[in-house]
Amino acid sequence: MRTTVGIVGAGPAGLLLARLLHNAGIDSVVLESRDRAYVEQRQRAGILEQGTVDVLRAAGAGERMDREGLRHDGIELRFDGRRHRVDFPALTGGRSVTVYAQTEVCKDLIALQLEEGGPLLFGAEALAVEDAGTDRPRVRFRYEGREDVLDCDYVVGCDGFWGVARQAVPAGLSRVFERTYPFGWLGVLADVPPSHDELVYARHERGFALLSMRSPEVSRLYLQVPQGATAEEWEDEAIWDELERRLETRDDWRLRRGPITSKSVTPMRSHVHEPMRYGRLFLAGDAAHIVPPTGAKGLNLAVGDVVTLARALTHEKETGSAALLDAYSETCLRRVWQAERFSYDMTTLLHSDPGASPFDGRIQLARLERIAGTRAAETDLAEGYTGFPLDEAVRRHGPADGAAPAGAEGAVRAAKGRAGHPGRRRA
């Protein structure tokens, strides 16, 4: 089997990349080790930045998102019994976020790929990426009980933190930066309407809490728990009681309770692998970087990666220049590190570190007071939360002649693709 771009992993990064390449006339094959039902049901992120929403719309994957997604124009911070709303459009020139679960994004992109795109093979387990440092990389995989090889011009690892793609980067070239946090998140889904119409981030002496949602009828809620805690340790009523304590306010706000349908614990860590490219292998999404979920950046960073890569591959096809491909890792990492910084700031602002002193707690409150009382600090949070420009680094370096334009317009144009440039289909 041969293709121009072999994509390992059918999460949002791999699926969106396949869609962007299809729109640009570049053929691809997507290999996914899990079955379709698993990909469409695994619970992950639920907040889409403004740039992600724009890209999905431009790629033709925004119809159901626009119909069912929930636009949010702010978040609420709670601390010391107080409530402070951060107004995104007023602080960012009109930007907002949309609540639309990663499961739904994957469903939309899978349907488009199966209807219009190239091969998408579920149950195809990637075993290794080989010859990544040559001009003929390949993916060895197992499908329907047999081993096969996918020969490619380029391989893109969208197979997550535990995938095989990153293992193809020589150890001598890899640099890893990471931080493990001494707590995790207990996340629950509950069949009850959200208790607030926007997300609520609460700092409390007992630990962090987050009130979120998946729809007008389904709430998504989180509690900070000790590192190593398991979901089985928490009875449903104990979860509701603890949420009520940590989300309490000085007014008459009340938490709605309902049946909990699922619960799980997510560890908290920051991780960046540099470089994000080796030869003809490119890493995207969780294969290259992990952020703690406090800043709602994981899925959105993956979108930034594949928009950058799709633009670079399109530029190479149209002009013969590899300039943007050569700059891929540096371009993405500028945005990645800003997202890591923002996620770290949000995490340390709102969580109770078991090793913290009373002084540290007072510093947290002082930081929150400054956000609530200073427009500059509030604007910095709003700009970070609604999303960093998808191609800020391209704008800084200046795109090569003929490259897609920088800024939001460039990201959208890259998502739409260009007519009149057939892809290089190979048998």
Q: Catalytic pick from 12, 22, 72, 399?
A: 72
What does the pLDDT read at residue 389?
A: 74
- Compute φ and ψ for 128, nearest 5 degrees: -170, 150
- Number of residues that this document lists for the chain: 427
> For 307-328, what is the mean pLDDT?
97
Distance, in Å, from the CA atom of 58 to the CA atom of 244, rounded to the nearest integer, reads: 41
User: Is residue 317 annotated as a catalytic residue, yes or no?
Assistant: no
pLDDT at residue number 426: 33
pLDDT tens for residues 318-376?
999 999 999 999 999 999 999 999 999 999 999 999 999 999 999 999 999 999 999 99
Give the count of beta carbons closer than 10 Å to the beta carbon of residue 103: 18
Q: Which two tokens stand for residue 46?
A: 């639920």
Q: Among 201, 222, 278, 328, which one carries the catalytic annotation?
A: 201
pLDDT digits (tens, 9 = 90+) for 28-80: 999 999 999 999 888 677 899 999 999 999 999 999 999 999 999 999 999 99
Q: Which amino acid is at 131?
A: D
Q: What is the pLDDT of residue 12?
A: 95
Q: Which of 289, 385, 389, 399 is catalytic?
A: 385
**Paired tokens of 123:** 């149950």
Catalytic residue status for 201: yes
Per-residue model confidence as pLDDT tens digits over 117-152: 999 999 999 999 999 999 999 999 999 999 999 999
Q: Which of 297, 315, 317, 351 is catalytic?
A: 297
- At residue 42, the pLDDT reads 80
Q: What pLDDT does 266 receive?
A: 92
Query: What backbone torsions phi and psi does residue 94 show, to the nearest 5 degrees?
Result: 110, 0
Could you confirm whether 297 is annotated as catalytic?
Answer: yes
Q: How many CB atoms lie within 10 A of CB 180?
A: 11
For residue 385, indicate whether it is catalytic.
yes
User: Is the model's pTM score more than 0.85?
Assistant: yes
- Confidence (pLDDT) at 41: 86
Position 405 pLDDT exceeds 80? no
Mean pLDDT of 160-167: 94
CA 412, chain centre distance (Å)? 18
Q: Report the side by side order of strands in the sheet with 97-99.
A: 47-48, 97-99, 70-72
Domains observed in the chain: 2-72+97-180+269-353+390-416 (3.50.50.60)
Tell me whether residue 181 is one of the annotated catalytic residues.
Answer: no
Q: Which two tokens stand for residue 396?
A: 């800084």
User: What pLDDT is recorded for position 412?
Assistant: 55
Mean residue pLDDT of the chain comes to 91
Catalytic residue among 293, 315, 328, 389: 293
Q: What is the pLDDT of residue 388?
A: 80
